[in-house]
Amino acid sequence: MLLPECGPGRVTSAQAHRAVEDGSALLADVREEDEFQAGHAPAAVFLPLSRLAGGADLPGRMDGRDLVLICRSGLRSQQAARLLADRGVTAVDVTGGMRAWAAEGLPVRDAHGAAGTVI
């Protein structure tokens, strides 16, 4: 279980990857569309912070899984976690974001499934 007892928490990219791979977490990328299209974690769902701030609902595919948020560097995902906490939704964010994810050698794919770039 990745989620903290109370309030938003942080996990490493390796912890997030393991949780997504074992099916215990849903990874939501909170960057904007051009960033997501250029390079994202293959299992990530697109849920930009701008939509969350506007009141968008969470993905319907949660199925009891932990919610892990990721952005480019970790700042927007922290904002998203706090915003969701204010709504009563617990989530963790990835320290270092997609930059850390890529630096760990974890997969990054573009909109066409090819090797992606973190912008």
Active-site residue, from 11, 27, 52, 71:
71
- Which residues in 30-83 belong to E strands, given as ranges? 45-46, 66-70
Is 71 assigned a catalytic role?
yes
Which residues touch 91 (CB under 8 Å, ≥6 apart)? 3, 8, 28, 66, 67, 68, 69, 80, 81, 84, 85
What is the pairing mode between strands 45-46 and 25-29? parallel
**Cα 61 → chain centroid:** 14
For residue 85 the two structure tokens come to: 């906490």
Q: Which residues carry out catalysis?
A: 71
